Amino acid sequence: MLTQRSEEVIITFIAKKCLINLTSEQVREYKRSFHENHWPSFDTYVEMRMSMWAVSIPTENWKSGTCSCPPFLKKHKCKHLIAVAATFNLTSIPISAKAIVLGQKKKRGRPAKATKALVRD
Ligand SMILES: [Zn+2]
């Protein structure tokens, strides 16, 4: 995650695979490629387009921010926008959302047999 902040807009670049830290050179290359808008092949364009997400958030109204990821282009909201807004204290994530358990693993072994409906133990 690499952030460029001005008075009105916060622009954050997030690597597609969040484990990789972005360098300022990678971001410069990304911006230069899209500024020049000259691509040797469509595959090169797709590779560059999908390498990182550019999240741009106006500080006055974070909901009117934009992101370059496919879910945002489809639904006009995405997890990146909310996460960056929460990082810069423009919004807060409700406690009810934090309480939901994520990624719980399935129990090992065979699933339990169904009990008979009309028999009491
Ligand atoms: Zn996004």
Identify whether 109 is part of a domain: no
pLDDT for the residue 112: 86
Q: How far is the CA of 15 from the centre of ligand 1 (A)?
A: 11
Q: How far is the CA of 96 from the centre of ligand 1 (A)?
A: 22
Identify whether 118 is part of a domain: no
Identify whether 63 is part of a domain: yes
- Please name the helix (run of DSSP H) or strand (run of DSSP E) that holds residue 15, with its range, or none: strand 9-15
Give the CA dihedral 38, 32, 59, 71, nearest 10 degrees.
Answer: 50
Q: How far is the CA of 84 from the centre of ligand 1 (A)?
A: 10
Beta-carbon neighbours within 5 Å of ion ligand 1: 67, 69, 72, 78, 80
Q: 24 is in which domain, residue-wise?
A: 2-93
Identify whether 113 is part of a domain: no
Tens digit of each residue's pLDDT (9 = 90 or more) over 66-102: 999 999 999 999 999 999 999 988 889 889 888 888 8
Question: Count of domains in the chain?
Answer: 1
